[in-house]
Structures are given as C-alpha cells and as structure tokens.
C-alpha cells in the first residue's frame, strides 16, 4: 500500500520553480507491482520475437531487391525519354527543378521552390522530473521526486494537463503549426518525379525575408519580423506563454541522382520479383553502383538499430519477469541489491542468446551456414555462462 506526501518547494529562480513529492511504498505494495510486471514482461517478450524476426525478413528482402536492381538497372541521359526503356529500372542524374510557386496563405509568403516549409515554435511551460529512491529495511522504499518547471521554445504542444502541479498552463494547440508545401510537378530533364521521389529531396535552407514584407491584416498588430523570424506576440524581448516564432525554409532546385522505373516520361516505383519497391533518390551526381552501395549501408544501419531494439525488449522483459525475486530479498536491502545485479547479468546473457537464436532462425533459409554459426554462438554463450556460475565461489560466512 502506498502513502504519498507532497511538500511545496521554493522558487528555483529565473525561469520557473520546483517542488518535491515524497512517496513511500510498502514491501507488499512493491511485490504486487512486481507481480504485475511479470505479465508485462511476458508481453514484451512475445512482441520482441516477431519484431526481430520481421526485421531480419525485411533486411533479407531489401538486400535481395537491391541486388536484383543492381543487376538490371540501366543508366540513361536525363534529357531524353527513350521508349525502349519503358517499364525498365533506370538510373539518371540531373537538376531537379520546378516552375511552381508555393505560397503559405496564412502569412503571404511565397517562393519558387520544390518545397516550402513553415517551422513554428511556441513558448511554453515544460515539466522536468528527477527521482531518487531509497530502500528501507523491511522491503519498503521512499522516493523523493523533484518536479521543476521552466519556459522553453518547443516545436510541439506540451500537454500541461499532464503536469504534476497546476498553475502552469499551456495553450492546447498552436495557432499556426508547422507545415510543408510540396510542388506537384518536379522534373529532372525530360522526366517527371513521383511524389515519393520528391519527398526524398532534402537540403532545406532558410528563406530570406524582407522585414518590409506586408503581413495579413489579422497579424498586423501582433506580429513583427525579427530578421528572418516572424515573432507573433507582444514583446520578443519578454516572451509570454503562447507566443510563436515562425521560420520559413525552402528546398531549392538541386542536382540529384535517381533509380526508378520509367513509365512514359514519369519516374515511378519499380516492383522487384520479390514484391519490394525500388525508388531511390540521393543528392548529387552519383553512379548507380555508388547509389546501391549507399542503399545497402542504410539497410544495414536500420537492421542493426532494430536488432538492438529487439534485444532491449528481451532484456527488459526478462528483467521484469525476474524482478519479484529481488523485491522479496529487499527485506534486507543488501540482499536485494545483490539480486538486482545478478538479475541484470542473467537478463543480459539470456537476451543476447535469444537475439542470436531468433536472428539465426530468420536467416536459416537464405544463409544456413550463417544461421548455424549464430545459433551455435548462442548455445556456447549459455553453456559458458552456466560453467562460470558453477565456478563462482560460495559466499563465506562471517567470522
């Protein structure tokens, strides 16, 4: 059972203030939470397996698609559409450009560009939280949580309704949120790009704005230009909660390299024999070989990121499943701390082993030797850990 006491803190000075909440939880309450955590742990494990398996399948399918594409791609000049290449995977380089003028109607800002971006930040309260938990003899805990509040510029709405303390209120929405406008017709030489290819064009630059640029009537009395920033509020030197700073950026015409399917004079996604879609755009003038090499690298990076996420899911799940043991031993905090360290080590070994086995099973069909090596490494890890535990010296009785 829990018992909470809240003590108001003094002002931290400057941008906000803070207060400390002291919460005590009994051993029985902690044990109940730990038992509930076991269920959550099993759910995380169940989610972890398909995540890892799906990731390996995605990595293999992407690898095969890139290999297939590299073997059939044709490099063509950008200034001419050859009907003989209809439906084929082609590679070209050239200047991506457009004749369209994009306009942000809310502010009367326009530019001839591939993309026009409005980036808005609102002045808001932000809650910061720092907790310290102390174990007590008997298994209970005392947690001191300090909440501090400061004013920040944020590009997202911070929900003040979720704050621990009232009195720090933010607007529920931005009057002028960030947005992006994208040209409908972008060409490279004689070819028109699909929306997916246009979306891959980056390199946004700040749009210089003349401070004499007229603003819509509704903003005349509450907005002003501060360099290339539009400030919406009473006083930029002393911002108030809800004030906005808006910056405009453009993606200008630029040289790009593309790998996609030729459909008449359009560049569209190419469907491989495995059902994967190839539609690659990279900045600068690059050969098809260099583009596929970079795509392979990006696939490997994403694969490893998701592998780490899956391994962390295993680690967290196993830790939650074993946590009741450390809570039981927390009747004497020293024993509980030793158990926590042991659980962390066991969870790490099991998570690593399960990750290797899952990845190995996923690769078994495509690269059986690689799969066998991974599974063997996992088995060796488990055996080595078991032998290491067997050699660990038994605790000595106090003299």
Q: Please, which pLDDT band fits residue 5 given cuts at 50, 70 and 90? A: very low
Radius of gyration of the chain from Cα atoms? Answer: 29
Task: Report the pLDDT value the prediction gives residue 60, as an integer from 0 to 100.
Answer: 87
Tell whether the model's pLDDT for residue 6 goes beyond 50. no
Tell whether the model's pLDDT for residue 284 goes beyond 90. yes
Using CB atoms within 10 Å of the CB of residue 130, give its burial: 0 to 12 exposed, 13 to 18 middle, 19+ buried: exposed
Task: Report the pLDDT value the prediction gives residue 139, as an integer from 0 to 100.
Answer: 82
**pLDDT tens, 291-320?**
999 999 999 999 999 999 999 999 999 999
**What mean pLDDT value characterizes the chain?**
88
Lowest mean pLDDT, pick from 8-17, 75-84, 245-254: 8-17
Domains in the chain: boundaries = 73-125+148-286
Going by C-alpha positions, the residue among 306, 373, 311 that lies closest to residue 60 is: 306
**pLDDT tens, 18-69?**
888 898 888 888 889 889 999 999 999 988 888 888 998 899 899 999 999 9
Tell whether the model's pLDDT for residue 72 goes beyond 50. yes
Task: Report the pLDDT value the prediction gives residue 298, as an integer from 0 to 100.
Answer: 96
Task: Report the pLDDT value the prediction gives residue 384, as an integer from 0 to 100.
Answer: 78
Instruction: State how far the Cα of 111 lies from the Cα of 252, in Å rounded to an integer.
Output: 9
Cα 391–Cα 392–Cα 396 angle in degrees, nearest 5: 130
Which residue has tokens 């906000």? 16
Task: Report the pLDDT value the prediction gives residue 16, as an integer from 0 to 100.
Answer: 53
Query: Residues 69, 259: contact at Cβ < 8 Å?
Result: yes
**pLDDT tens, 162-210?**
999 888 999 999 999 999 999 999 999 999 999 999 999 999 999 998 8
Which uninterrupted H or E stretch holds 149? strand 141-154
| Six-digit token string for 251 | 């993606």
């Amino acid at each position: 059972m829990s018992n909470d006491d809240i003590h108001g803190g003094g002002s931290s000075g400057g941008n906000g203030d803070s207060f400390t909440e002291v919460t005590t939880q009994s051993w029985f309450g902690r044990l109940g939470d730990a038992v509930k955590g076991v269920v959550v742990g099993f759910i995380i494990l169940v989610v972890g397996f398909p995540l890892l398996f799906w990731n390996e399948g995605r990595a293999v399918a992407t690898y095969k698609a890139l290999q297939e594409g590299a073997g059939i791609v044709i490099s063509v000049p950008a200034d001419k559409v050859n009907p003989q290449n209809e439906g084929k995977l082609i590679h070209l380089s050239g200047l991506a450009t457009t004749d369209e003028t994009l306009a942000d109607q809310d502010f009367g800002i326009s530019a001839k560009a591939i993309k026009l971006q409005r980036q808005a930040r609102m002045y808001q309260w932000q809650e910061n939280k720092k907790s310290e938990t102390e174990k007590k003899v008997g298994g209970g805990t005392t947690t001191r949580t300090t909440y501090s509040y400061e004013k920040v510029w944020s590009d997202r709405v911070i929900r003040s309704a979720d704050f621990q303390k009232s009195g720090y209120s933010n607007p529920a929405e931005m009057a002028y949120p960030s947005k992006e406008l994208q040209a409908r017709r972008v060409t490279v030489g004689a070819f028109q790009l699909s929306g997916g290819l246009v979306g891959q064009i980056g390199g946004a630059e700040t749009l210089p704005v003349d401070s004499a640029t007229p603003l819509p009537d509704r903003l005349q009395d509450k907005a002003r230009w501060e360099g290339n920033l539009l400030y919406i509020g009473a006083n930029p030197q002393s911002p108030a909660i809800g004030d906005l700073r808006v910056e405009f950026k453009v993606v200008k015409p630029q040289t790009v390299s593309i790998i996609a399917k030729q459909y008449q004079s359009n560049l569209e996604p190419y469907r491989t024999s495995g059902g994967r879609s190839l539609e690659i755009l990279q900045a600068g003038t690059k050969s098809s070989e260099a583009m596929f090499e970079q795509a392979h690298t990006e696939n490997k990076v994403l694969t490893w990121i998701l592998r780490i996420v899956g391994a962390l899911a295993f680690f967290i799940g196993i830790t939650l499943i074993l946590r009741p043991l450390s809570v039981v031993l927390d009747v004497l905090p020293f024993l509980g701390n030793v158990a926590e360290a042991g659980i962390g080590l066991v969870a790490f070994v099991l998570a690593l082993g399960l990750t290797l086995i899952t990845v190995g099973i996923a690769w078994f069909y495509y690269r059986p030797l690689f799969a066998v090596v991974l599974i063997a490494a996992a088995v060796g890890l488990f055996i080595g850990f078991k032998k290491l535990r067997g050699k660990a010296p038994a605790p000595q009785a106090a003299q």
